[in-house]
Amino acid sequence: MITLYHFFFLTITILILVYMYRVFRGPTVYDRILGLNGISTKAIIMLTILGSLYERLEMFVDIALGYAVLNIIGGLAVGKYLEQKRTREC
Amino acid sequence: MSPRTLILKTIGLFGLWILLSGKLDAFHLSIGFFGAALIAWINTEPQHLDEPPLPLARLVLYLPWLFWEVVKSSLNITKIILDPKLPINPRLVQYPTNLGSNTAVVLLGNSITLTPGTVTIEVSSSKLVIHALDDESSNELESRSMEQKIAEVFHSRGQT
Amino acid sequence: MLTVDTLLIFIGLFFLTVAAIGVIRLPDVFSRSHALGITDTLGNFFVLTGVAFYQGLTLADVKIFLILLALWHLNPVISHATLRAALRNGVRPWIKEKK
């Protein structure tokens, strides 16, 4: 049975593809990082919507919480690394 | 670190454990209590004593105002993005500030970045470099309403 | 059919779509981070609040609130770190040409 939540899931998948365009195309490496940050935020939202779809929100919310913490640590680490590396080319 | 801070930290971590586990039997509660106490004891590094304590009550009153600002500027940026002509005018703004404590400057920078249309790029204790997307958001920045709000949060009763 | 949770999620998806369009249309990395700011604040707020309304009040709602709090506090830090790295490594902001 198709519900509205399937539609939400599909929309977020399409949005992730749009961000993937920016990640592959981006002129500088910082555009790619911003795109990846957007993708991981969408993945957190997608996990909670999947939890509602499968009626097991408690389990999926735990995964989303862990994913949020990983996303934050990873984005901050890459940002600090690039700041020290002095990369000019891309 | 005083024992009071240690106990407060333990209670906070234990509350977080209960929220995340959701189980109330003796086994999980005891494991959570010992874990919280251990983590609070490991993190006993000296605090920054020159910073004033965070005024939590007035900070909670500041958050709804911040949320309303976020909604207003988000609608503004939404209008700009959906406009076919894309009327943007990006610029870098030097923003000197005289909020005393580092905590207040961190709160200011975080609020500025959270508001769509302005992003903090460089930060020091007396100056911020901010990228503003269009005229309206940079005017909003120049009016310094956010800095006044934060100064009220931190200084209204703490200094007298 | 159109209950409170689906209405909130629709509003949130609208903001997420606008942010994705902005990430494609805007000219440089500094401007794109403004578009991502909409996602980080309003889009996340509406979608996650909608999901929290879906099952009524359970323990999962508290965890969703924790996720929202973490995202609101720490996404600005990530975009600040990325943009500071960009500025310090010589990326100049795009400026409108004088006509």
Q: Do C67 and A65 touch (CB under 8 A)?
A: yes
Residue A71 lies in a domain: yes
For the residues A61-85, what does the mean pLDDT come to?
86
Model confidence band, residue B158 (pLDDT cutoffs 50, 70, 90): very low
Distance CA C50, CA A49 (A): 10
Give the one of C36, C64, C91 whose C-beta lies nearest to A34's C-beta: C36
Q: What's the number of domains chain A is made of?
A: 1
Examine the predicted complex and report whether its ipTM is higher than 0.90: no
Q: How close is the nearest chain A Cα to the Cα of B102, in Å?
A: 20
C2-31 residues touching A, CB cutoff 8 A: 6, 9, 13, 16-17, 19-20, 23-24, 29
Closest CA to C81 of B136, B76, B89, A33: A33
CB contact under 8 A, A41 and C64: no
> To 5 degrees, how large is the angle CA A47–CA A49–CA A50?
65
pLDDT of C99 higher than 70 = no
| A90 inside domain | no
Question: Scanning every residue of chain A, which has its alpha carbon at the shortest distance from the alpha carbon of B20?
Answer: A62
- C96 vs C26, more confident: C26
Interface of C with A in 39-98 (CB under 8 A): 39-40, 43-44, 47-48, 51, 54-55, 58-60, 63-64, 66-67, 70-71, 74-75, 77-79, 81-86, 88-91
**Sheet (strand B91-96) strand order:** B91-96, B127-132, B118-123
Please indicate if any CB of chain C lies within 8 Å of the CB of A31. yes
For residue A62, the chain B residues in CB contact (below 8 A) are 20
Residues of chain B that touch chain C, judged by Cβ-Cβ distance less than 8 Å:
19-20, 22, 70-71, 74, 77-78, 81-82, 86, 88-92, 109-110, 113-123, 129, 131, 133
- In chain A, residues with a C-beta closer than 8 Å to the C-beta of C47 are 45, 48-49
B48 secondary structure, DSSP code? -
Element (H, E) at A80: helix A57-85
Residue A67: inside a domain, yes or no? yes
Query: B10: phi > 0 → left, psi -120 to 50 → alpha, else beta; which?
Result: alpha
List the chains bordering chain A where 3 or more Cβ pairs fall under 8 Å: B, C
DSSP 8-state symbol, C94:
P
Confidence check: pLDDT of B126 > 50: yes
Q: Which residues of A touch C78 (CB under 8 A)?
A: 37, 72, 75-76, 79
pLDDT in tens, C60-77: 888 888 888 888 888 888
Bridge partner residues of B91 (DSSP)? B132
pLDDT for residue B52:
61
Percent of the residues in chain B that have a pLDDT greater than 70, as a whole number:
89
**pLDDT tens-digit series, residues B51-103:** 566 677 788 888 888 888 888 888 888 888 888 887 888 888 888 887 777 77
> Which residues does chain A have within 8 Å of residue C69's beta carbon, measured at their own beta carbons?
none
CA-nearest residue of chain A to B19?
Answer: A62
Structural domain range at position A51? 4-85
